[in-house]
Structure 1
Amino acid sequence: MYQHINKILIIVAVALLAACNQKVDNPRQVESFNKGWKFFLGDTADASKVSFNDADWRALNLPHDWSIEGEFSKDNPSTTEGGALPTGIGWYRKTFKVDSVPQNQKYYIDFDGVFCNSEVWLNGHYLGKRPFGYITFRYDMTPYLNFEDKENVMAVRVDNDAQPASRWYTGSGIYRNVWMVTINQVHVDHWGTYITTPKVSDEAAIVNLEVKIKNNQNAAQQLKVKTELYDQNNQVVAQDEKSVSCKDSLCSIAYDFTVNHPVLWSIENPYMYTAVTSVYNKKELIDQYETPFGIRYFEFDSAKGFFLNGQPLKIHGVNQHHDLGALGAAVNTRAMERQLEILKGMGCNAIRMAHNPPAQELLDLCDQMGFLVIDESFDEWKKTKAKKGYHLYWDEWHVRDLQDMILRDRNHPSIIAWSIGNEIREQFDTTGISITRELAGIVKELDKTRPVTSALTEQDPKKNNIYQSGALDLISFNYKHKEYLDFPKNYPGQKMLASENMSALSTRGHYDMPSDSMRIWPSAYNAPLVGANDDYTVSAYDHVYAYWGATHEDTWNVVKNNDFISGMFIWSGFDYLGEPIPYPWPARSSYLGIIDLAGFPKDAYYLYQSEWTDKTMLHIFPHWNWEKGQDIDVWAYYNNADEVELFLNGKSLGTRKKEDGKFHVMWRVPFEPGTLKAVSRTDGQVVLEKEIHTAGEPYKVELIADREVINADGTDLSFITVKIMDKDGNMIPDADQLVHFDIEGNGFIAGVDNGYQASLEPFKANYRKAFNGMCLLIVQATEEAGDIKITATTDGLKNGVLTLKSK
């Protein structure tokens, strides 16, 4: 598993020997503060006081999202669409001891994210408040800590009661990681390093490092600061040492390193280096700080698009909200890694963080797995989108929140642009000019190496005040793909990115005929759905989209064939909780993803796999269980071939080739049971063959784990696909049996799902109905190694049994 290397500061002993001529321990201690909390859902008086009795509160570990544990209700107004999971007010308390005896040390508590309006107390002392639920923040605990084996009590109040606070699901609680940092009074400041690579070639790279030293002593400090750059083999590739007299509370040091024959960070080879900065007072090591980084260069060109390391690269991106399906907003590194693996499999190479700062672990994974990132700060400024949204805190907090996002994230090589807003309403108000200039100025003070952008909906340059500010380096547009063709004329010399596209709708495994009739759902704001389905499903052919959007094929055709468009970001990669367009309640999650909420790809996934990867593939759909004689539209996505021939029960139905602007081929076939077979060919030679069979009666439950060996660390996950199968091994395409799960051994159920957007079953349960033949079981390891036996049962069918190993 990829590691959160920004926090777990691992120094190789051999490297330290070479650097310091002695074996030393890092005086900076970063420890997880996730275990041993107690939780109470609801508001309660005096819970911030040390004397408060929390004996009957629930014990749990963080990260934690209490909303995902609740039941869906139309009365929960936690998104602007209505009908969601509960929010409210919650309290967390932790009693702990500090083992170390204070010796010229500082003690900090770092919260990676709390949603929202968090207030923190330590031993009854108020540490502060942070309204923004997506931001990382720190408090100094030193003045209020008890030592000498005395207990400490930390209390956190989380107020997510004022609703709707968002247009999508936010989660509630301390939903990201918490860390305790023990450090010398003189140390590298919080987010105190900044790495840039101003000159890069295959022969050599200049690596510039700025280090800020925090001096909490009342006297000047004579320091020696040494930095070594390590490659992935833990070999020192450059080093330098400087002396500094730190007279003030903050002092700075700058280095210019030369790395010969650097390995450049890229999509295909996301190579990471690490800068290790050691601070000495005389000969004593008083702090050591790691900064992972990559060496790469990029540019956006107004005519030719995006270039990475001098090579043209079309950005194949998706937008991602932060929820993890059945796990809610609670951060889990493996769950995020799985999402990225699935996206990588379809050829995705970029993520737009919609529409707020992401978890640090997600950025680490993008660095390590080779994804480009658009890091986005705000979904609203002063003008309202959600009644209780961020606009309420704008005046007091937007400067600090934006600064903290840039400072935290600016060393990630994956990030290629800063987005200061999404579909901001100040586009249509002259206040958009001054606010855009202010925000861009804040970004440029902290990082001049990346362009500033904002996702715009108004494409007329004369009407868009955010563009009129002149502060944007990169023009990003959401939707209206046909107007992109006018961009070079309307915005001469400007650089362009399609930041949000499609809003194409689908439900996995559901198909409405005919597939060549377009359905615009809704056709206008608040318009009724013509031809809506009683079961709240949407056809999975690429022929349904919202009125502001378009089909996948039409949009990709424009982006693919115009070099000035640097790339696009599909709305969205995965279905997400909230915004259940096009249906009202009981629909409760989006239909907009290429992949459903459970992580099962929809058919559009294979369109992009055929276009965005070199992996030879052939995908035919739909399933082959219909009424006899019914006309069924059969689609095929394919690549690395000239044509596809379709056979039904051995009889050829003809050969098809893609037409200009189309990325699929189609046959209209009267249904008869049996075998549907597709054969792709190049120059008459067979490339691939795929078959779909008419499924028989349900016979058994099948369990397929994404990983059968997981780590016994209390957080690792195995995602288990559950299928209802006939005796010949065919999935039943309309199966909806209720499946019960029993777990024995060193694991437990973390969540269940089936990807159906109108399912009101709870995510935290030991059962789930199959939807269109499938559902999902998520198993989480305990901290004890051993076997985890899973049994899946449903009435009248053969049980599914699977054993995982936890190590």
Structure 2
Amino acid sequence: MRRWLTILVALLVAACAATPPRPAAAPPPARSATELTEGWQFRFDDALTPEAALALPDSEWQAVTLPHTWNRLGEYRIGRTGATDNRQGKGWYRLRLDGRTLPAGKRHVIEFDAVGNIADLWVNGRHVGRHAGAWSRFRFDLTGYLDPAAANVLLLRADNSAPAPGSSTADVIPLDGDFFIHGGPYRGVRLLHVAPSHIALGDHGSAGVFATPVVESDGSGRLDVRVELEGIAAGQSLVATLRDAEGRSIGEATRPVAAGRRGLEFSIDVPAPHRWDGRADPYLYRLDTRLADADGTLDAVSVPVGFRTIRFDPEQGFFLNGRHLPLHGVSRHQDYLGKGWALTRADHERDMALIAEMGANTVRFAHYQHAPDWYELADRYGMIVWSEIPFVNKISFGAATASPDLVANARTQLQELIRQNYNHPSVVTWGVGNEVDLDVALGRLDPKADARPLLRELNALAHAEDPTRPTVMADCCEATHETLTPDARPVQPPLTGITDLVGYNRYYGWYYGKPADLGPHLDRMHARYPAVPLSVSEYGAGGALTQHVADPASHKINAGGRPHPEEYQSWLHEQSWPQLRDRPYLWATWIWNMFDFASKVRQEGDATDINDKGLVTYDRKVKKDAFFYYKAQWSNAPVVHITGRRWRDRTDAKTAIKVYSNAPRVALTLNGASLGDIACADRICTFPDATLAPGENVVTARADFPSGPVRDEVRWTLAAP
């Protein structure tokens, strides 16, 4: 019996030895995130208190999914309907969060990509923090507020009250602007779970990693890196790996980090960096940064890196990597018909694809910090970016200078803009203001009001935050009166020269003057400021799809009302672009605007609450004729586009047929009969005197390209006599 017991024990020992030991539980990821999209409740209520909001039953709330805004603004009709929701005030959002689902041993930091306009957050009835400004990312550490063993209630108040003396937004930029500030958490929200030792999350919403690519004159490169840290303990180190577009390591640096240290700086040599070269070759590296100890990675962050050089010359314009690159593009607002500001990644992708289709190589991110997706797309598409803060139109409600609280808010929003977007190679300049002299120029503010002190302060701050990029501002009004009244005295102090670069928002032929005044005005400004690189940051005209004229050159427009004929918009761009193109001292030009957008002050064209200067409609469904004018000018893709296609019902038999094309000639037919091959002068091909027949008429245009023929067709109906 004892013998059998001995054998059994031996077999059991052998079996245990043959069985591999059970692996230890895998540690949680170095940094993880819980997207907070579902389960939110919403209520718009100016009178609600946090205590009352917590006590309200579920039946008093509306279930919503984030991103969310309660605002919907803009209709292609005369007058508002129930589709419009332009309420401004306080919207409340409530979310229940089970603390038992939170990973143990981590700090829990909530991250809002943006909330319009002032955000206050409570957790379990305790106020966590406030953020003022509708476009910046911000974070709150909730670790000490959350109960890890029970249900938690998050309460967010989003306040987009109209700025006015004494209002909650009286000291939050912007105080004014031709765009509507949507309320709510309209971008992503998530809960970040990080180790107690981590790459900093409390630095103005930044990544905590700042990578500065340097390209030497001999073509060699270096990446200077600064990392902000939090909660560092003994025995930890930082490992930074620079990877190429295929993910291969091309350089690494490892540095020990002393306990309590909050920052670290080092460099990685790159012998022959592949340049980020705009639309031609937007090559991107990635810098992977890890904080580690003896047991492995504690935290990790990855940021984009683009090696490139930029230069702005007051006579020759913009240079990228030593090569002259004329910049032509558009400005863009972030809203969409029926969605407001609550856009998806797909919405951003579609917008950037449309801009690229037209042949633009630059985008002005007006008039505020745009979504993280938008910066990433600009990097990937190779767009040159002007990025700016929302210091727009107004400095006060009557005072000569901005209030200290407004100054502090403007400074914070500028720091957030720069630190959150520092690593994007597409960004070449930081904008510190737009049309801040407008109120004075229009006589709405005391002529003694002076935006210059704040502009100078923001200019200095931008240089302190980022010495590698120049500053810029957009001016509305300097010397525009000289075109109309040569002997008139200036109505506001000049702003040109405060920033390194300047952009001029100029609307000759729309709000004032004639289209032909644009070029001579720019020449005068260039002569007045020969050392300042100049650009045209806005130009354009409204275009309504249902309003038409036969002879836009002689049509008297109503810029601030109705109508806004689509043909006039196209004609103004035809007159403006050659003047801009032929002035090489301009470092860039931007059309205002790529898309129609919401504006509470607009009752114009054939729309309500819409600025219709876009080249594409607010719902992105219709590319206006002017879109194809620029596509023919800028794009290498074959273009044949007959204009006036939406003017389907005609009353005059005699009509001109105009085609935008980048072919030398187009063949036209009317109702199957040839009108001949028409030469295209400056990519505009015109048959001046066609005769329509009663009833439906079919016009076709055809051009041959190396890739094959391209054809377009329109149908017009002539009313019977």
**TM range, smaller chain:** 0.7 to 0.9
- Structure 1 range deviating more: 307-316 or 422-431: 422-431
| Match of residue 635 from structure 1 | 658
Q: Residue by residue, what CA displacement relative to the aligned partner does 1:417-450 show, whole Å, maximum 9, x if unpaired?
A: 1101110128875743322221011111111111
The aligned counterpart of 2:131 is 130
Matched, 1:226 2:247: no
1:176/1:359 contact within 8 Å kept: yes
Matches within 5 A, 1:718-797: none
One-letter amino acid of the counterpart of residue 194, structure 2: I
Distance verdict in 2 for CA 1:75–1:514, change over 3 Å: closer
* Distance (Å, rounded) in 2 between the aligned partners of 1:636 and 1:75: 34
Secondary structure, in 3 states, of the residue corresponding to 2:610?
coil
| Aligned: 1:342 with 2:342 | no
Q: Secondary structure at the match of 2:221?
A: strand
Describe the SS at the equivalent of 1:267. helix
Q: Distance in 2 between matches of 1:676 and 1:263?
A: 47
Q: Is 1:109 matched with 2:105? A: no
Q: Of 534, 555, 558, which aligns to 1:521?
A: 558
Q: Which segments of 5 or more consecutive residues in structure 2 lack a partner in the other structure?
A: 1-25, 165-175, 441-446, 481-488, 509-517
Q: Which residue of 2 aligns with 1:306?
A: 318
Q: CA 1:653–1:519 in 2, change beyond 3 Å: closer, same or farther?
A: farther
Q: Does the 8 Å contact 1:188/1:213 carry over to 2?
A: yes
Superposition deviation, residue 260 in structure 1: 3.4
Distance 1:119 1:651 in 2: 68
Q: Determine whether 1:60 maps to 2:83.
A: no
Match for residue 557 of structure 1 among 578, 581, 600: 578
Superposition deviation, residue 143 in structure 1: 1.4
Q: What is the DSSP-based 3-state SS (H/G/I as helix, E as strand, rest coil) of the residue aligned with 1:92? A: strand
| 1:511 maps onto 2:548 in alignment | yes
Cα distance in 2 for partners of 1:652, 1:415 equals 50
Task: Provide the residue aligned with 1:376 in structure 2.
Answer: 388
SS at 2:554 equivalent: coil
Question: TM-score with structure 1 length normalisation?
Answer: 0.73
Shift of 1:618: 1.1
Q: 1:281 to 1:431 in 2, by over 3 A?
A: farther
Deviation at 1:576, TM superposition (A): 0.6
The secondary structure found in structure 1 opposite 2:629 is: helix
Which residue of 1 is the match for residue 256 of structure 2? 243
**C-alpha spacing 1:214/1:682, structure 2 compared with 1 (3 Å):** closer
Partner of residue 539 from structure 1, selected from 558, 565, 569: 565
Tell me the SS of whatever aligns to 2:539: strand
The correspondence for 2:465, drawn from 446, 463, 466, is 446
CA contact (8 A) 2:663 2:705 kept: yes
8 Å contact kept, 1:146–1:152? yes
Alpha carbons of 1:601 and 1:200: their partners in 2 closer, same or farther (altered >3 Å)?
farther
Q: Deviations over 1:646-695 (max 9, x none)?
A: 332343445543457x8453423232133322244699x99644333458
Q: Secondary structure at the match of 2:280?
A: coil
Match for 1:675 among 685, 691, 698? 698
Q: Which runs of 5+ in 1 are unaligned?
A: 1-22, 78-82, 697-807
Q: Which amino acid aligns with 2:581?
A: K
> 1:27 is matched with which residue?
30
Report the alpha carbon displacement of residue 261 of structure 1 after superposing the two structures with TM. Answer: 4.5
Paired with 1:349 and 1:257, the residues of 2 have a C-alpha distance of 30
Matched, 1:185 2:196: yes
Residues 50 and 92 of structure 1, relative CA distance in 2, 3 Å threshold: closer
Cα deviation for residue 64 of structure 1 reads: 0.3
- Would you say the 8 A contact 2:277–2:320 is kept in 1? no
- Contact 1:70 1:86 survives alignment (8 Å): no
**Cα gap change, 1:267/1:54 in structure 2, threshold over 3 Å: closer, same or farther?**
farther
* Aligned partners of 2:276 and 2:425 also within 8 Å: no
| Aligned pair partner of 1:405 in 403, 417, 424 | 417
Count of aligned positions: 642
Q: 1:669 to 1:201 in 2, by over 3 A?
A: farther
Q: Flag the 1:343–1:71 CA change in 2: closer, same or farther, 3 A.
A: closer
Q: Tell me the distance in 2 between the aligned counterparts of 1:391 and 1:339.
A: 37
1:601-616 to 2 correspondences below 5 Å: 601-616=623-638
- Return the alpha-carbon distance in structure 1 between the equivalents of residues 321 and 522 of structure 2: 26
Shift in Å at residue 199 of structure 1? 1.0
- The SS at the match of 2:463 is helix
Q: TM (normalized to structure 2)?
A: 0.81
Query: Residues 76 and 618 (structure 1 numbering): CA distance in 2 closer, same or farther, change over 3 Å?
Result: closer
Task: Provide the residue aligned with 2:591 in structure 1.
Answer: 570
Distance 1:42 1:204 in 2: 59
Mapped contact 2:393–2:434 kept (Cα < 8 A): no
2:265 to 253, 256, 261: 253
Q: Which residue of 1 aligns with 2:483?
A: none
Closer/same/farther in 2, CA of residues 70 and 241 from structure 1, 3 Å limit: same
Separation in structure 1 between the aligned mates of residue 421 and residue 184 of structure 2, nearest angstrom? 23
What secondary structure does 1:552 align onto?
A: helix
CA distance in structure 2 between the partners assigned to 1:631 and 1:71 by the alignment: 34
Rounded to whole Å, the distance in 1 between the matches of 2:373 and 2:362 is: 16
Residues 1:594 and 2:605 are matched in the alignment: no
After superposition, the Cα gap between the structure-2 partners of 1:287 and 1:407, relative to the gap in structure 1 and judged at 3 Å, is: same
CA distance, structure 1, for counterparts of residue 653 and residue 383 of structure 2: 44
**Distance in 1 of aligned mates of 2:675 and 2:76:** 47
> 1:49 touches 1:124 (CA, 8 Å); kept in 2?
no
Q: Does 1:492 align with 2:561?
A: no
Counterpart residue identity of residue 186, structure 2: Y
- 2:684 and 2:470 mapped to 1: Cα distance? 33
**Contact 1:197 / 1:297 at 8 angstroms: preserved in 2?**
no
Secondary structure of the 2:58 match is coil
**Alpha-carbon distance in 1 for matches of 2:293, 2:420:** 27
Larger Rg: 2
Q: How far 1:289 moved relative to its partner? A: 1.3
1:154-165 pair list within 5 angstroms? 154-162=154-162
Contact kept? 2:34, 2:192, Cα under 8 Å: yes
Distance 2:653 2:404 in 1: 56
Which letter does structure 1 place at the counterpart of 2:689? Answer: R
> Where does 1:80-91 land on structure 2 (aligned, <5 Å)?
85-91=86-92
Of all paired residues, the percent bearing the same amino acid is: 24
Helix, strand or coil: the match of 2:281? coil
Q: Say yes or no: does 1:97 pair with 2:110.
A: no
- Alignment partners' CA distance in 1, 2:77 and 2:194: 47
What's the Cα RMSD here? 3.5
Superposition deviation, residue 125 in structure 1: 1.0
Shift, 1:295, TM fit? 2.0
User: Where does residue 142 of structure 1 map in the other structure?
Assistant: 143
Kindly provide the CA deviation profile for residues 473-527 of structure 1, in whole angstroms up to 9, marking residues without a partner as x: 112111153311223311112211111112x1212364322344243323xxx7x
Instruction: Give distance in 1, aligned partners of 2:577 and 2:701.
Output: 25
> What is the distance in 2 between the residues matched to 1:183 and 1:229?
23
Q: Deviation at 1:582?
A: 6.4
Aligned counterpart, 2:228: 212
- Secondary structure of the structure 2 residue equivalent to 1:224: strand
Q: Which secondary structure does the structure 1 equivalent of 2:222 belong to?
A: strand
Contact 2:71 2:85 in 1 (8 A): no
Q: Distance in 2 between matches of 1:585 and 1:637?
A: 25
The within-5 A match list for 1:263-278 is 263-278=275-290
**Residues 279 and 288 in structure 1, CA contact (< 8 A), matched pair in contact too:** yes
Query: Taking CA–CA contacts closer than 8 Å with sequence separation of 6 or more, which of the two structures ends up with the larger relative contact order?
Result: 2
Distance in 1 between residues matched to 2:336 and 2:654, nearest whole Å: 38
Cα distance in structure 2, aligned partners of 1:431 and 1:689: 55
